[in-house]
Amino acid sequence: MPTVDSLGDLQLQTALQLLKQAGREVVIDAAPGSTPWLQAVVDALCELSSRDALTGLANRRQFELIIAREIDRVARAGEPALVLMADIDHFKVVNDTHGHPAGDQVLKAVAAALQDCVRPMDTVARYGGEEFAIILPNCPPAFGQTVCERIRAKVERRVVNVAPGTDVQVTISIGGAYAPQWVRSSATLWVERADRQLYRAKTEGRNRACLEQAAVYQVSAEEKGMLFGTSQFQDIE
């Protein structure tokens, strides 16, 4: 029968194997098995669990944690914050024409382009499939369209080599919505509003950005009900 120590060793070896497969081997100037070394392993595993394996961006789970924190901050501090939902146009055509490995290359290229366009304080996440989400804290409405255009143009200009002699260019559509200041909203409501703008960008011809006007946003009945509620972030523990 395995002992507690042997089970612990097995779990540690499994963790190290996972990190190796993900290209995130622990490199630290400390003896294996020491407290600093074990802490580095734990930190690497936490980082791995919060990242999308293909693109290296924040994954959906990490996005949901960060947007909950941002909603709480906006409700308390009143600073403007923008969430963007971006979708690669006609991505199915890339997969159908060039194969899924080519699609993966396009996803990685678009992810890198998005990351190049934001500040260190911003969060870019792979939301699912060919859809990405971006959280921009402290982003005044006057700069929202500028940021979106920078992202849209960056992706449009990027040429992706998917096979010898074969290059692909794609575009993205973007929808954005501001968090209502001094109001305790929810991640679901905020993302749904950005998604509506993304749908509008798609229906108006793609390769464009549509932003909800912050000045005309109406607080919903659900948000009014949460106005004096507890912090959402406190619930995620």
Q: What does the pLDDT read at residue 128? A: 94
Minimum mean pLDDT among 2-11, 48-57, 170-179: which range?
A: 2-11
Q: Is the pLDDT of residue 103 over 50?
A: yes
Minimum mean pLDDT among 4-8, 43-47, 155-159: which range?
A: 4-8
Sign of CA dihedral 58, 63, 69, 75: positive
d(CA 189, CA 67): 11
Amino acid at 153: A
Do residues 220 and 144 share a domain? yes
Average pLDDT over residues 145-153: 96
Do residues 141 and 222 share a domain? yes
150 inside domain: yes
- What confidence tier does 234 reach under pLDDT thresholds 50, 70, 90? very low
Do residues 112 and 10 share a domain? no
Could you read off the pLDDT of 105-124 as tens digits, one per residue? 999 999 999 999 999 999 99
Average pLDDT over residues 91-97: 97
Minimum mean pLDDT among 19-23, 62-66, 142-146: which range?
A: 19-23
Do residues 100 and 20 share a domain? no
d(CA 86, CA 108): 14
Helices (H), 22-59: 35-49
Q: Is the pLDDT of residue 4 over 90?
A: no
Do residues 16 and 127 share a domain? no
d(CA 27, CA 7): 24
Collapse the DSSP code of 131 into the 3-class scheme (helix H, G, I; strand E, B; otherwise coil) and give the result.
strand
**Residue of 128 and 38 predicted with greater confidence:** 128
Full residue range of the structural domain in which residue 13 is found:
4-49
Distances (CA, A) of 107 to 30, 100, 101, 117: 37, 10, 10, 16
Do residues 168 and 86 share a domain? yes
Which sequence positions are flagged as catalytic? 130
Please give the share of the chain, as a percent, with pLDDT higher than 70: 70
Q: What does the pLDDT read at residue 3? A: 46
55 inside domain: no
Do residues 124 and 188 share a domain? yes
- What confidence tier does 1 reach under pLDDT thresholds 50, 70, 90? very low
Do residues 161 and 186 share a domain? yes
Q: Is the pLDDT of residue 153 over 80?
A: yes
Please give the share of the chain, as a percent, with pLDDT higher than 90: 59
Q: What does the pLDDT read at residue 39? A: 60
Do residues 16 and 93 share a domain? no
218, 199, 221: which is closest to 209 by C-alpha?
199
Minimum mean pLDDT among 31-40, 114-123, 147-156, 193-202: which range?
A: 31-40
229 inside domain: yes
d(CA 237, CA 233): 8
Average pLDDT over residues 33-56: 69
- How many domains does one find in the chain? 2
d(CA 15, CA 40): 12
223 inside domain: yes
For all residues of the chain together, what is the average pLDDT? 83
